[in-house]
Amino acid sequence: MKNKYINSWIFVFLTLIFVFLTLIKVQAQEMSDYPLDFITDSCKVVNELRNKDELTMLQGREKYRDCMNFVLAIASSLNGRCISYKNNEIKKENNLTYADLSSVISTKDIIKVIIEYSEVHPEYAEQAAWIHSARAISQKWPCIN
């Protein structure tokens, strides 16, 4: 009898863990699948004036959240990889996955680089923002160990 209860609790516990991990994976995939024009449109809100009507402010808040979540995720990923890199040389094939952001003062600097890159390369508007933002950031602040 006691064994039955333990087995059912283990099953419920493992099911909850599976559901939780699936939700995390889905959210991570959504973040990396944003097109570049969506991110740049969201990030342009950061540079706009704050004295707008209430509806514009509510829409702007949602865009601001999307932009900041994206920028902080990509910046921490690129900078973390650069900090933890052990070898002396980063290969040319994967150098866009590293960036030394120790000299960056504000997230606005990173946002500015992403927006400028998208304006210079409008042909990448519908492609994955993560790849092209990483390229823009790593070109501006390369990882030098």
Query: Could you tell me if 12 and 49 lie in one domain?
Result: no
pLDDT in tens, 8-67: 777 777 777 777 666 665 554 455 578 999 999 988 887 775 556 666 666 778 888 888
- Which residues contact residue 103 at a Cβ distance below 8 angstroms, ignoring those fewer than 6 apart? 141
CA distances 63 to 42, 44, 73, Å, are 4, 9, 15
pLDDT: is 123 or 85 the higher one? 123
Token code pair at residue 69: 């979540």
Query: Could you tell me if 117 and 134 lie in one domain?
Result: yes
Confidence at 121, pLDDT banded by 50, 70, 90: very high
For residue 69, the one-letter residue type is: N
pTM of the prediction? 0.70
Total domains, the chain: 2
Q: Which domain holds residue 86?
A: 35-140
